[in-house]
Chains A and B, each alone.
Chain A
C-alpha cells in the first residue's frame, strides 16, 4: 500500500499488510460462494426435510410396495378426494368417487376421470397433496396416475387409477385424510 515509501521497515510492513488484506478478502469471498451454494442447497434440503417430517402434505412421488402385514379392522379411515385444475388447462378432471372408507393396511383402488375439452393436444400432470400434512407419510400410493404425465388428444378422455393403502401405524387421532390433486398443463415443457 505505501509503496511510495523508501524505508525498508515501512515497505515490509506494507507487504504484511497487503498479505493480510488478501487473506481477509479470500476468506470473505469463500463465505460469499458458500452462501450462494447454500441458497441452492436449500432446495434439496427442504425436500428432504419435508420428506422426513411429512410437512407440507407432500407425498412420495415413487410407487410404494405393499408391505402391510395385517389389516386393522378396528379402525376405519375416511379418505376424501378433491381435484382442481390449475389456471389455463381446459380439462374436466374429477374423482369418480368422492370418498372411501378403508381400514389401515387395506388395499383400495379408485378411479379418476379426465377429459381434454379443448381442440388441442395437451399433456397434464397431476400433483398430489395430503391434508392433514402429518398424515402424508402414512398414505402409501402403490399405483398412481400422478407418477407419470398424462397426454390427452383433443376431446379425448381417460379413466385413471389410484391404488393405495394407509399405514397401520397412522396416528390414533387421524380419522379423515383428504387427498387433493391439482392438474397442471405441462405441454410446453414436454415439447421442449
Chain B
C-alpha cells in the first residue's frame, strides 16, 4: 500500500468552523471539541478512571473473600459491589476504551479528516459521565446501589428491588444512547469517509472489526433499552411484563436480556480481535495471514451471536430441543474463532518476531483468550453446564475472555499507538514491568477460580465453605497484585505524555497503515486532503 500524504495545517478545518488548528483553552476545549483525537483521548481517560473505580470494587470483593466468614462487608453491600463492578467494567471500562480507540484510529486508518458526525461524537462522549454519576450516586441513597447483579434478573430488579432500579435504568438508558450514537458514527464514517481507492476489502482488519461491532451495537443496544424500560414500568408503573401474578413471565426477562447480552459479549471481544490483528503482523514483520478469512470469521461470529443466547439459560427448564439447538450453535462459534487463532499463529509462523510490549500483550491475549474460549466450550455443553452454572467456573471463564482477552488487547493497542498519540516513546522498562506483573498476577487471580468453580463454589456469595479457603486466599492476593500493577501503567502513560524519547513517524518497522504516514504526535488535523490508495 503506497500513500500520498498531504498534511497542510493551514487548510480550513472542515468541521468546527475554526481556522487553523486553534484550540480553545482550558475546559472549553474539552467541552466543545469536535475533534476525533480529543474525543478519543477523553474516552480513553474516562475508561481508565472507570477501570480503576470498578477495580476498587473488585478489591473490596476480594478483601471480603480473602477468608471464609463475613469479615468487612454486609451481604447486601457485597451484592452492590458485584453488581456495580460488573456494570462499570462492561459499560464504563471496556466499551468506552474501544470507542476511544475507534475515535483516535478509525479516521486516520481510513484516511478521513475526522469522524463523519463530529458534533454527535462530542455528545456521545459527554453524556457518559452523567450516566455513571447517576449510577454511582445511588451508593449515597439510604437503601444503596443496585444489588441485583449486572444482569438485573427480574424479579430481583423489580419486585425485590432495593429502590435503586430507577437510578440503574436511567443510567443504562444514557449509556445505551451514547453507545448507539457512537456506533452510528463509526458505521457512517467507514461507509462514507474512506479515502479514494480504499475498498472494503482493503480496509485494515481493525476497521473491519469495529464496523461489524458497530452494527452489533446498533442492533442490540435498543433491545437493552427496551428491557430496562420494561423493568422500570414493572417496578414503578404496575405493568407485569415479568410478573407472573399479572400474567407475565420472569423467564421471558432472561430471554430478552440475553438476546442483548450475548451479542454484547462479542461487542467486547471483536474489537480486541481487530487490535491484535494489527499488532501481531507488525511485530512478526509479515502481513496478516488469511485477511479475508478473518473478515468472514468476524462476520460469522457476529451472526452466530444472535442465535445462541439461551446457552445462558440451560437450567431454566428448556425443552430438550432448545438445549440441543443452543448447545450446537454455541459450539459452532468455536469454528470461526478457531480460524482466527490459527491465523494469528500462522502470521507469527516463520516471521521475524520481536517482543516489544504491544507484542507481549498480544501473544498473552492469544494464549489466554484461547483458555477462556475453551472454558466457554465446556460451558456450552448442556449436561456439564448444569454443574458449572452459577459457579466460579463461569466467573473464571468470562474474566479470562474479558480481562486477559479484551483488556490485554486494549493494553496492546495503547502501547502500540502511544508513540503516535503522545509523540514520545514510553519507558520500556516500566512497560515490561507492567506486562510481567499483570501476566503473573492475572493468572494467580483467575486460574484458581476454575478449580473453585469445579469444586462447587457458587458465585455472588460473600461467604464460602472452609474447603475453598486456600484457593480464595491466592485469588485475593492475585487480585491485589493485579490492581497495583495497573498503577504502573498509569505512571507510564503520564510519564510518556510529559516527555521521553522523541517518537519517529513510524516507531515500529513492521507496522502498516495510514496512521504511520503522519508525524508523531499526530497533528490535530490529519488527512484534510484524502490520501491516495493504490
Contacts and interface: CB of A to CB of B under 8 A. Distances in A.
Interface range, B side: 35 or more
Contacts of B15: 1
Interface stretch (A22-30, A92-100, A137-145, A171-179): A22-30
Interface stretch (A65-73, A101-109, A150-158, A181-189): A181-189
Interface stretch (A39-47, A113-121, A162-170): A39-47
A70 to B, nearest CB: 30
B117 A4 contact: no
B26 interface: no
Interface in B281-333: 317-319, 322
Contacts of A50: 249
Contacts of B93: none
Contact of A32 (B218, B238, B260, B318): B218
Interface stretch (B34-42, B251-259, B388-396): B251-259
B296 to A, nearest CB: 22
Contacts of B247: 61, 127
A120 B223 CA distance: 41
A46 B246 contact: no
A185 to B, nearest CB: 8
A133 interface: yes
Given A25-B184, A133-B317, A32 B244 contact: no
A192 B225 CA distance: 27
| Chain A interface helix/strand/loop/mixed | helix
B252 A42 contact: yes
Contacts of A25: 117, 184, 188
B188 A24 contact: yes
A30 to B, nearest CB: 10
A24 B191 contact: yes
Interface in A8-30: 17, 20-21, 24-25, 28-29
A183 to B, nearest CB: 9
Contacts of B245: 86, 125, 127, 184-186
A3 B13 CA distance: 10
A46 B255 contact: yes
B218 A35 contact: yes
B267 to A, nearest CB: 14
Contact of A21 (B117, B220, B243, B256): B117
B305 to A, nearest CB: 14
A46 B252 contact: yes
Contacts of A189: 238, 240, 246
A50 B230 CA distance: 20
A189 B234 CA distance: 11
Nearest to B185: A25
B219 interface: yes
B116 A21 contact: yes
A1 B252 contact: no
B25 interface: no
A33 B222 CA distance: 7
A32 B222 contact: yes
Interface residues of A, number: 42
A24 B188 CA distance: 6
Nearest to B259: A42
Contacts of B318: 55
B251 A192 contact: no
Interface in B166-183: 180
B226 interface: yes
A72 B226 CA distance: 48
B226 A29 contact: no
Contacts of A5: 12
Contact of A36 (B188, B226, B259, B319): B226
Nearest to B240: A189
Interface string B53-71: 0000000000000000000
Contact of A35 (B223, B230, B238): B223
B227 interface: yes
Contacts of A36: 222-223, 225-226
Given A28-B184, A186-B246, A134 B319 contact: yes
B12 A4 contact: yes
B499 interface: no
Interface in A46-76: 46-47, 50, 53, 55-56, 58, 61
Given A28-B218, A35-B218, A133-B317, A43 B252 contact: yes
B241 interface: yes
A26 to B, nearest CB: 10
Which 4 A/B pairs are nearest by Cβ-Cβ distance? A39-B226, A184-B245, A4-B12, A36-B222
Interface of B: 12, 14-15, 116-117, 180, 184, 187-188, 191-192, 218-227, 230, 238, 240-241, 243-247, 249, 251-252, 255-256, 259-260, 317-319, 322
Interface of A: 1-5, 17, 20-21, 24-25, 28-29, 31-33, 35-36, 38-40, 42-43, 46-47, 50, 53, 55-56, 58, 61, 86, 125, 127, 133-134, 182, 184-186, 188-189, 192
13 contacts: A21-B116, A21-B117, A35-B223, A39-B226, A42-B252, A42-B255, A42-B256, A61-B247, A86-B245, A133-B317, A184-B243, A184-B244, A186-B246
Given A42-B256, A43-B241, A55-B318, 14 more contacts: A2-B12, A2-B14, A21-B117, A31-B219, A35-B220, A42-B223, A42-B252, A43-B252, A53-B319, A55-B319, A127-B244, A127-B247, A134-B319, A189-B238
